[in-house]
Amino acid sequence: MPGFPPPWPPLLALVVYASTLGGTFVYDDRILDIDLRYSTPRYWYLFWIDQYWPHGIDNLYRPLSCMTFAVQKWLHGNLAWPYHLVNWLLHAGVSAMVALLANRVANLRAAWVAGVLFAVHPIHVEVVAGIVGRLDLLCALPMLLAMYLFPRPMTARRVVAIVACFFGAVLSKETGCFFH
């Protein structure tokens, strides 16, 4: 029976990426100011029936991620640090899920290695530091959770949870369609 996975991956993720909390809005983060759907709850339903970037050529559909931005814009206005805080915490959560999954499919040593490497890897800087990087984090978390749930005997509750994870991933970012 595998041991309990280490707490270090999410803690290291928080330490390594703590500097992102002081970040500002950059690059694609400007969508929060130019898209009227983020300005008031009256327009939030449009996230569910329209594409991610207004008048974009790629027709991306990311309503769940957009709703998290919209709620934060409504709550915090143009303060950047609360957006960064959510991304920072989501990265810690994804790092924890990597360790949990590695522990389930391999062993405790794999959980330590995979979790720590994932948590501190510099490739995640753009995802954690850029506010719109949340799309990837919100897609990764349910995908990893579903992979964690899958190797056990299937029950009706487990199937419902995995299907919910699928929809959570797909509605966060289109790469969630690679869920299978």
3 state DSSP class of 124: helix
In a domain, 22, yes or no: yes
Q: Which pLDDT score, from 0 to 100, does residue 180 have?
A: 60
Helical (H) or strand (E) element with 137: helix 134-149
Tell me if 2 is assigned to some domain.
Answer: no
What is the model's pTM? 0.92
- Percent of the chain having pLDDT more than 70? 96
pLDDT, residue 3, reads 58
Give SS3 for 79.
coil
Cα-based distances in Å from 54 to 139, 143, 150: 21, 27, 37
- Say if CB 143 and CB 110 are below 8 A apart: no
Q: How far is CA 1 from CA 4, 5, 106, 108, in A?
A: 9, 12, 11, 10
Give a yes or no: residue 34 inside a domain.
Answer: yes
Count of domains forming the chain: 1
Rounded Cα gap, residues 176 and 139, in angstroms: 6
Work out the angle at residue 142's Cα, subtended by the Cα atoms of residues 62 and 3, and round it to the nearest 5 degrees. Answer: 160
Q: Which of 4-8, 26-30, 31-35, 109-113 has the lowest mean pLDDT?
A: 4-8
Q: What is the pLDDT of residues 152-179, one digit of tens each?
A: 889 999 999 999 999 999 999 999 888 7
Range of the domain at 45: 8-63+77-133
Q: Does residue 51 lie within any of the structural domains?
A: yes
Per-residue pLDDT at 2? 54
Query: Is residue 104 over pLDDT 50?
Result: yes
- What pLDDT is recorded for position 120? 96
User: Which residue blocks in 56-174 are alpha helix, DSSP H?
Assistant: 63-76, 81-105, 108-120, 125-129, 134-149, 156-170
Does residue 138 lie within any of the structural domains? no
Measured CA to CA, the distance from residue 113 to residue 135 in angstroms comes to 25
Percent of the chain surpassing pLDDT 90? 74
- pLDDT exceeds cutoff 50 at 1: no
Angle at 47 between CA 21 and CA 67, to 5 degrees: 30
Q: Is residue 110 part of a domain?
A: yes
CA 3, 162, 147, 132 torsion: positive or negative?
negative
pLDDT at residue 122, rounded to an integer? 94
Mean pLDDT of the chain: 92
In a domain, 162, yes or no: no
Question: Distance (Å, rounded) from C-alpha 49 to C-alpha 62?
Answer: 10
Read off the pLDDT of residues 21-62 as tens digits, 9 standing for 90 and up: 999 999 888 888 888 999 999 999 999 999 998 777 888 999
